[in-house]
Amino acid sequence: MRENEFLINRYFNYKDRKSQPHITADNLIELGLKPSPLYKEILDKAWNLHLKGVDKENVLKQVADTLNGKDKRELLDLINQKELLESNEINDLEILL
């Protein structure tokens, strides 16, 4: 009976996971990545990581680790730029408060 419970739980976790926010092409555009064939590779890997339980915030970093050369550098640079921008915005808000 335990195996059945495990499988049922896995099914519902998977179903819940599918309905949670995940990386889309719009996220890649917002990040500043120009549309290219690389989109499909990134989105496929991002979806697989999402289904495995990786949070949306960490998916792109893990995807970048699987890429090579120029593609990896470009994605990591865009992620770092976004994080720096968000960090500066938080600091600006703290100063205002």
- Give the model's pLDDT for residue 94: 60
Share of the chain above pLDDT 90, in %: 12
Tens-digit pLDDT profile for residues 54-77: 888 889 889 998 888 898 999 889
Burial class (CB in 10 A: 0-12, 13-18, 19+), 58: exposed
Alpha-carbon separation of residue 6 from 12, 16, 18, 83 (angstroms)? 10, 15, 18, 38
- Give the model's pLDDT for residue 21: 66
Tens-digit pLDDT profile for residues 29-43: 988 888 889 999 999
pLDDT band at 20, cuts 50/70/90?
A: low
Higher-confidence position of 26 and 11: 26
Tens-digit pLDDT profile for residues 79-88: 888 888 877 7
- Give the model's pLDDT for residue 42: 92
